[in-house]
Amino acid sequence: MDSKASQTGRIVKALSGYYYVKPLDASSIEEPIQCRARGIFKKRGESPLVGDVVEFEETENGEGAVNRIMPRSSELIRPPVANVDLAVLVFSVTEPALNLQLLDKFLVHIEHAGIEAVLCLSKQDLAVDSEDAETARSAMNDVLRIYEPIGYQVLVTSSRQGEGTAALSERLQGHLAVFAGQSGVGKSSLLNALVPGLTLETNAISNRLGRGKHTTRHVELIDIGGGYVADTPGFSQLDFAELGIEELGSCFREMRELSSSCKFRGCTHIHEPECAVLAALERGEIAPSRHSNYVLFMAEMKEKKRRY
């Protein structure tokens, strides 16, 4: 049997040297085609990523070969996914407790990658009927109060009660999204609620450790009908290695908008006179938690630079 004509598809999974490619015109139930990458990529130092749109051809044994990688709109290093255009940051209102510092750290990375972010609060039912209900409610209100005014969409969900999942599903249509957030916040439960019949392993949180065990091992795209979600093994080892200190301020939306009004170019928004960001902070227009996390990240980055 001759190899067939070139087709266009998307890599939905990479495992042990194989790339699983789904033709762009395939239905969501069709099985992807198992492909190898041509040797030319290695020579060029390129490597196909999950999420890549590629040209491939089917070869004689029912397998295929990836011939060409189309230009990417974005590329994440950890987790390694290409063409992600939406990041859903999943944080639970409690269990584990909502950590605004970690939320801001995620947002810095997402803004730096130039990807749109949606904040998704999970386990909303715990804000009603749990012993931590008050803490959970206050965490939920903090997120709405701080992040909606700076332009982030906040979706409140409960996989257990199926609340908010329709709105989330609608938001994901037409996108290649990545779900990120610390372990144990309910990412897998949310995906299971979005895709009937999907049974991702969910892990109960080990309270003793205060964190969930990583349940996801390799990167795979889940077809949610009209969109894809990358189920990824953890965005949790975030460091600022790929980020320059001067770029940090531009990863905080509200500071990015104000920085052109600062007196000094390259203002760090920490101690300079006539700094538009500090003035806005004083007027209560910037959330104190956002600014103090910014100062903290700046110190963390300087400390790293000193060590290397």
Task: Count CB atoms within 10 A of the CB of residue 92.
Answer: 24
Residue 14's H or E segment, with its range, is strand 7-15
Asked whether residue 22 is marked as a ligand-binding residue, the answer is no
* 184 annotated as belonging to a binding site for a ligand: yes
Q: Is 161 annotated as a binding residue?
A: no
Question: What distance in Å separates the CA atoms of residue 94 and residue 207, rounded to the nearest whole number?
Answer: 12
Residue 267 assigned ligand-binding role: yes
| Helices vs. strands in the chain: H and E counts, helices first | 9, 13
Distance CA 47, CA 11 (A): 12
Q: Is 262 annotated as a binding residue?
A: yes
Tell me the C-alpha distance between 251 and 283, whole Å. 21
Sign of CA dihedral 227, 233, 234, 237: negative
C-alpha 185/C-alpha 182 separation (Å) is 6
Q: What angle do CA 257, 292, 303 make, to 5 degrees?
A: 105
CA 183 to chain centre: 13
The Cα 89–Cα 214 span in angstroms is 16
Is 189 labelled as part of a ligand binding site? yes
Check: CB of residue 118 under 8 Å from CB of residue 173: no
Does the annotation place 130 within a ligand binding site?
no
Is 120 annotated among the ligand-binding residues?
no
226 annotated binding-site participant:
no
* Residue 269 assigned ligand-binding role: yes
β pairing state of 116-122 and 86-92: parallel
- Kindly tell me the sign of the dihedral angle through the C-alpha atoms of 232, 140, 210, 199: negative
Residue whose token pair is 């997402």? 110
Cβ atoms of 13 and 216 closer than 8 Å: no
Whether residue 122 is annotated as binding a ligand: the answer is yes
Q: In terms of Cα–Cα distance, which of 176, 167, 210, 204 is closest to 189?
A: 204
Round to whole Å and give the CA distance between 134 and 139: 9
Query: Residues annotated as binding site for Zn(2+)?
Result: 262, 267, 269, 275
Query: Residues annotated as binding site?
Result: 122-125, 181-189, 262, 267, 269, 275
Query: Residues annotated as binding site for GTP?
Result: 122-125, 181-189
